[in-house]
Amino acid sequence: MKIILKENMKHVGKQGEVVTVKDGYANNYLFPKRLAVLATTGNIKMMEENNRQGAMKREKMKADALATSESMNEMVITIATKAGANGKIFGSITPLQVAQALKVKGYDIDRRKIEINDIKVLGSYEAIVNLHREVSVTIKVEVISE
């Protein structure tokens, strides 16, 4: 029986592929769990259209990420925090604080997309902002005392 997979399945195929499986496997497992649909001409056309629209959407997201990375290139973020006499910070600088500083500058970036090392001393550091799977930008983070 020819089916179209809705999800990636180990040993069967990838999402959107038309594969041939045994009738019992399709009827008793794949169809009830909504992991696949029957490969009719209408379903195949719908799958091709969904793939085409998905590719266009992914390209637009990548173009937006490239434009944002161009505007963020060479950006310097300044974060003021409490520190001791020797320059050691009380606590540490987190990706959340970097995301809040970026939001003040007009960039709404999720904190989970920001990678920084432990910052526990005043100084200058670098943070990597992952805007897209293929697009990332490095920004400088200046940590100063309040």
The 10s digit of each residue's pLDDT in 15-36 is: 888 999 999 999 999 999 999 9
15: Cα within 13 Å, side-chain hemisphere: 8
Q: What is the pLDDT of residue 87?
A: 87
Look at residue 57 and tell me whether its pLDDT is greater than 90: yes
Whether the CA torsion 6, 11, 17, 20 is positive or negative: it is negative
What is the CATH code for 2-61?
Answer: 3.40.5.10
The mean pLDDT of 32-61, rounded to a whole number, is 92
Q: Where are the domains of the chain?
A: 2-61, 69-145
Look at residue 51 and tell me whether its pLDDT is greater than 90: no
* Rounded distance between C-alpha atoms, residue 67 and residue 63, angstroms: 6
Q: pLDDT tier at 118 (50, 70, 90 boundaries)?
A: confident
Which of 1.10.4190.10, 3.10.430.100, 3.40.50.1820, 3.40.50.720 would CATH assign to domain 69-145? 3.10.430.100
Q: Please give the radius of gyration of the chain, using alpha carbons only, rounded to the nearest integer.
A: 24
Q: pLDDT tier at 113 (50, 70, 90 boundaries)?
A: very high
